[in-house]
Amino acid sequence: MFDVKTVSLEWGGKTLTLETGRIARQADGAVLATYGETVVLCAVTAAKKVKEGQDFFPLTVHYQEKFSAAGRIPGGFFKRERGATEKETLVSRLIDRPVRPLFPEGFYNEINVIAQVLSYDGETEPDIVAMIAASAALTISGVPFMGPIGAARVGFKDGEYQLNPSMSQVAEGRLDLVVAATDAAVMMVESEAKELTEDEMLGAVMFAHDEIRKVVGAIISLAEKAAKDPWEIDLTDNTADIKAKLKALVGADVAAAYKLTDKSARSNALNEARAKAKEAFAEEGPQTQMVAMKTMKKVEADIVRGAILKDGTRIDGRTTTQVRPIESIVGFLPRTHGSSLFTRGETQAICTTTLGTKDAEQMIDGLDGLSYQRFMLHYNFPPYSVGEVGRFGAPGRREVGHGKLAWRALHPVLPSKEDFPYTIRVLSDITESNGSSSMATVCGGCLSMMDAGVPIERPVSGIAMGLILEGDEFAVLSDILGDEDHLGDMDFKVAGTSAGITTMQMDIKIAGITREIMAKALHQASEGRAHILNEMTKALGSARTELSAHAPRIETIQIDKSKIREVIGTGGKVIREIVAETGAKVDIDDEGLIKISSSDMGQIEAAKKWILGIVEEAEVGKIYDGKVVNIVDFGAFVNFMGGKDGLVHVSEMRNERVEKPTDVVKEGQAVKVKVLEIDPRGKVRLSMRVVDQETGAELEDTRPPREPREPRGDRGDRGGDRRGPGGRDRGPRRDGGRDGGRDRDRGPRGGGEGGGDHIPAFLKSDD
C-alpha cells in the first residue's frame, strides 16, 4: 500500500530520519522528519498554472505547533490551536527566507509549504527539524527549486561550538545561532549572542555550514530515491530587446533620478521615468507592457549596481563605508518612563520604555508549557513612515520579525531579575523609513531604556550592511538605503556593544556568499557600529541612576520560607489586608522573595514595615507600635507586629487601678506597648503603663515588685493574701470550697488567641 523511502543520518549525537511515501501522498512533496523524538511533517503543494496578471512569486510558508505533540491541551476558551503565535510566525520566516531566493527568476506559480510539529521530546527544538523537512519536501516535489538547503543550531560554551544544543544548554552558553545553507554557500543567519567577537561569530557560521553539508547530502539521497519528475517550464529570458529599448528610452532619466539625495524627490523622478516607459509599451498589449515594467527594475538595478562597482558612488553620494548623519534625543516624552527619538538619515524611530511589576509579565503558552517573559519589544511600521497609503492594524509577519531582531540585540545586556526586578516593555514606532528601521529600533530602544534607568551592562548600537556582487567583483555597503536593499544582493544586520556582537541576521538574495565576503562585512559593520555608538553617547552615555518619577518603585525582601504562610495568611487574608491598607502591590514567590511595588515610596515602606513585623520575632523588653483588635473583660488584645497579637491585661494599662478596659482603650486605637513576657507556647504579655503613649519612650516602673510566692502546699490549705498582677490585693476566693479565692472572672473558655475569650497560660493560676 505504501511505497516508503527513508534516509537516516547520525548527526549531533542523534539520528535524523527523513521519510516519504507514507503520509500526505496527494501533496506534491511530503516529508516526515524525525530527530530524536521530535517529529515534523512538511507538505508542499504548487499551482500548476500561473494566475493571470501575476508578476511576483507567491510563496507562503506556515509552521504550526500541535499541543498534542507535547501531550498538552491548549489553554484558553476554545481549547484548540488558533492563529499563529509569535514563535510560529518567526519559524515560518526562518523557513521562507533561505528557500525563496532558490527559485528561478520569473517563476510565479503559487507554492504552499505547511510544516506541523507532531511530536516534541522537550529537548530537540522543532524549528531546525521543520526547516530540513521543508527543504526535503521541496526537493522531491518536482518544482524548480535550486536547493536543497540544510539548517543547524549552534551554541558556544567554554570556547567550544555545540551542534543543535537544547534550549537549556543555549541558556547556559553565550550563543544561539541558526544557520541555513546549501552545499556551496550560506543563505541565512539568525542569532542572539552574549557579546561574541567577529571571529567567534564567523567561526560559528562556518562550523554550522560544515555540519549542514551532511544534511544536504542526506536530502539528495532521499531525492535520488523518491523525487518526482521535474516540472517542464520555460523560464528563458526573452527580455533582452525590451531591456535595450528601456535603457535607450529612460536610462538617462533613471541615472539622473538616482543622483538625487532626497528620497521623495528621487521617488518622484523614478515614477516619472516608469510612467514614460509604460506609455511607450502601451500599444504592444498588456502582457508585453507588464513584462516591460518588470524589466524596468532590472534596468534600475544595472544602473545603480554599476555605479557602485565602478567608482564606489552610492545613491545618496556616500562612500561604501560612510554612515548617514545621526541625531539622538532622550527624555523626548514627558510622561513616559523613558523615551528617545533616534534619527539616522531618513530613518526615524520614537522608542519608549515602560517599567512594570511581575503582574505585567507576558504569559506564553507553548509546547514547553506556560512560561513568562519579563522583557518585551514591540515594533510598529505605519504606512505614513514611507509616505504611502496602506493597511494600518495588527502587526504583520515583517513587524513581528523586526521586533524580535531588536529584542535579540538588547536582551543580552539586560540586568538580572534579582538586580532589577521590573518587567520591561520597549515600544518602537517607526515614523520615517529609508534604510534599516530595525537597527534604528535597536539604537532608539537602547537609549530609551537608559533614559528609564534600566542598568544595562553596555549601550548597544546596530547597523545594516548591503552587498553588490557581480562575478568575482563585490562591494560591501554600510548603512544601506531602502533602494540599495531592494537592488542589492544581501541584507546583513549586526548589533552589539563595544565588547562584542549581540545579534546578527543575514538574508541572501543570491545563491549564497563566501567566507571572504562575510568576514569583510563583519569587519566593516564593527567600524560602523562604533561610529553609531559614539553618536548615541552624545545624547546619553550610560543609564540614569534614578527612575522616572512616574515609574513604579520595587523593593525586595527575602524572608525565611517557613514564614511565607504567615505573610499570606489563611486564604490570602493577610496579604490582601496589606495590599488594601497600604495601597502597595505585594508579590511573593516560593523561595520567600517578596516584591513590594508602588509609585509612592510611603506605601512601599508601610507594606515593608508590616511584612517585617510579621516575620520578625518579638523581643522581650522592646517597645512596639500596636493597634487594639479585641477587648475582653480582663484586658485587650493588641496587634503589634503585623500578624502577632499579645494581651495587655487590665492591670498593665495604667499605674492606677482600672475597672474596665473600655475606660482606657477602644477597638482600632493605636497604642504603644512593651513586651513583658513570651511563654514557651509563643503567647505574649504586653504592657501599656510603662510606655509613654505620646512619645513611645519607656517609663520607669514605679509599681512595687511582686512579693515572692509561698511554696505550694495542699490545695485545701490555700488562701490568705494573694496578690494579682501589679501587687494589688486579689481578695477572697469566690469558690467556697477553697480558702481564699480569685477576684478575676475567667469568663467562658473557647476560641483561640484573637478570639477574645481564651486566657493565655501565663495568666492562669498556679494550680
Same domain as 215, residue 70: yes
Same domain as 402, residue 345: yes
What share of the chain has pLDDT > 90, as a percent? 57
Is the Cα dihedral 752, 758, 763, 767 positive or negative? negative
The answer to whether position 753 is within a domain reads yes
- Which pLDDT does position 203 carry in this prediction? 95
Same domain as 406, residue 280: no
Same domain as 663, residue 532: no
Spatial contact of 59 and 100, defined as CB atoms under 8 Å apart: yes
pLDDT, one tens digit per residue, over 351-370 is: 999 999 888 999 999 898 88
Prior bond of 760 cis (ω within 30°): no
pLDDT, one tens digit per residue, over 91-110 is: 999 999 999 999 998 899 99
DSSP summary character for residue 755: T
**292: amino acid identity, one letter:** A
pLDDT, one tens digit per residue, over 696-734 is: 898 888 777 655 555 554 444 444 444 444 444 444 444
What share of the chain has pLDDT > 70, as a percent? 91
Same domain as 588, residue 646: no
Cell triple for 328: 539622538
Q: Cβ contacts of residue 103 below 8 Å, gap of 6+? A: 57, 59, 111, 143, 144, 145, 146
Same domain as 658, residue 521: no
pLDDT, one tens digit per residue, over 214-259 is: 999 999 999 999 999 999 887 666 778 888 888 888 888 888 888 8
Q: Which of 8-22, 302-316, 549-563: highest mean pLDDT?
A: 8-22
- Which pLDDT does position 721 carry in this prediction? 45
Same domain as 622, residue 609: no
Q: How many CB atoms lie within 10 A of CB 87?
A: 17
How many structural domains are present in the chain?
A: 5
The answer to whether position 542 is within a domain reads no
Mean pLDDT for the stretch of residues 465-483: 89
| Average pLDDT score, the chain | 87
- H-helix or E-strand spanning residue 401: helix 397-410
The answer to whether position 129 is within a domain reads yes
The answer to whether position 627 is within a domain reads yes
The answer to whether position 237 is within a domain reads no
Same domain as 118, residue 67: yes
Q: At what angle do helices 286-311 and 263-280 cross, to 10 degrees?
A: 140
User: In the chain, how long is the greatest CA-to-CA distance?
Assistant: 133
- 3 state SS of 117: strand
The answer to whether position 317 is within a domain reads no
- 3 state SS of 493: strand
Strands 59-65, 111-119: pairing kind: parallel
The answer to whether position 544 is within a domain reads no
Q: How many CB atoms lie within 10 A of CB 223?
A: 21
Q: At what angle do helices 437-452 and 397-410 cross, to 10 degrees?
A: 50
Query: Residue 415's domain spans which residues?
Result: 326-537
Q: Is the full-model pTM beyond 0.85?
A: no
Q: How confident is the model at residue 763 (pLDDT cuts 50, 70, 90)?
A: very low
